[in-house]
Structure 1
Amino acid sequence: MATKTLGPATHLSARPYEVADKAAVLNLVNADRLHGQPLTTAVMLSDALATRSPVDSGWWAELEPSRTDVVHDSTGQVLGVVSYSTRREDGTGLILWMHCREDETVAEALVEHALASLGSPRTVYAFEFASALTLGLEGLPAQARPATRTALEAAGFSGRDVWRYIHRELTKVSDIVGSRSYPMAEVAECADPPGWQLLLRNTDGTQVAEATIGRPVDGTGVLWWISTNPAHRGRGLGRRLLEQCFDQLASNGAREVIAYVDDDAPPGDPKRDRTAANRLYDSMGFAEIDRLWSFTRPQ
Structure 2
Amino acid sequence: MTSLLTPVTAAAPELAKLINADRLPGQPACTLAMLQSAIDGSSPVDSAWWAELSGLRTEVLSVAAGTPVGVIAYARRPRDRAGVILWLHAREVPAAVRLLLDHALAELGGCPTVETFSFATALGLGLEALPVRHRRATHTALTKRGFTGSDLWRYMRGDLPAPDLPTCAYRIRREDGRCGLEVERDGQMVAEATIGDPVDGIGVLWWIGVNADARGQGLGLRLLGSALDVLAALGAREVILYIDDDAPADGPERSRAAANAMYERAGFVEMDRLWSYQLTR
**2:227 is aligned with 1:227:** no
Q: Which residue of the partner structure matches residue 87 of structure 1?
A: 77
* Amino acid across the alignment from 2:231: L
CA distance in 1, matches of 2:55, 2:122: 14
Structure 1 unaligned residues grouped into runs of 5+: 1-9
2:260 aligned to which of 270, 278, 282: 278
Q: Which residue of the partner structure matches residue 184 of structure 1?
A: 169
* Amino acid across the alignment from 2:270: E
CA distance in 2, matches of 1:69, 1:217: 27
1:150 aligned to which of 140, 149, 156: 140
CA distance in 1, matches of 2:106, 2:129: 22
CA distance in 1, matches of 2:200, 2:55: 28
* Amino acid across the alignment from 1:45: L
Q: Deviation per CA, 1:245-273, whole angstroms, max 9, x where unpaired?
A: 01110111001100000112355643431
CA distance in 2, matches of 1:215, 1:65: 32
* Amino acid across the alignment from 2:35: L
Q: Which residue of the partner structure matches residue 243 of structure 2?
A: 261
CA distance in 1, matches of 2:40, 2:2: 30
**2:22 is aligned with 1:32:** yes
Aligned with 1:66: secondary structure?
A: strand
CA distance in 2, matches of 1:199, 1:266: 26
Q: Is the 8 A contact 1:263 1:272 kept in 2?
A: no
* Amino acid across the alignment from 1:63: L
1:12 aligned to which of 3, 7, 18: 3
Q: Deviation per CA, 1:191-244, whole angstroms, max 9, x where unpaired?
A: 2xx210111111x21111011100000100000000100111000110010011
CA distance in 1, matches of 2:252, 2:12: 46
* Amino acid across the alignment from 2:219: L
CA distance in 1, matches of 2:230, 2:129: 27
Aligned with 1:282: secondary structure?
A: helix
**Change beyond 3 A, Cα 1:266–1:183:** closer
Q: Which residue of the partner structure matches residue 141 of structure 1?
A: 131
Structure 1 residue 11, shift from structure 2 partner: 1.7
CA distance in 1, matches of 2:268, 2:167: 19
* Amino acid across the alignment from 2:147: F
Structure 1 residue 77, shift from structure 2 partner: 1.3
Report the identity percentage.
48
Structure 1 residue 13, shift from structure 2 partner: 2.1
* Amino acid across the alignment from 1:114: A
Number of residue pairs matched by the alignment: 281
CA distance in 1, matches of 2:235, 2:146: 44
Aligned with 2:12: secondary structure?
A: helix
Q: Is the 8 A contact 1:70 1:78 kept in 2?
A: yes
* Amino acid across the alignment from 2:259: A
CA distance in 2, matches of 1:153, 1:250: 40
Could you say what the CA RMSD is over the residues aligned between the two structures, in angstroms?
1.5
2:153 aligned to which of 160, 163, 173: 163
Q: Which residue of the partner structure matches residue 182 of structure 2?
A: 199
* Amino acid across the alignment from 2:178: G
Structure 2 unaligned residues grouped into runs of 5+: none
Aligned with 2:273: secondary structure?
A: strand
Q: Which residue of the partner structure matches residue 4 of structure 1?
A: none
Aligned with 2:41: secondary structure?
A: coil
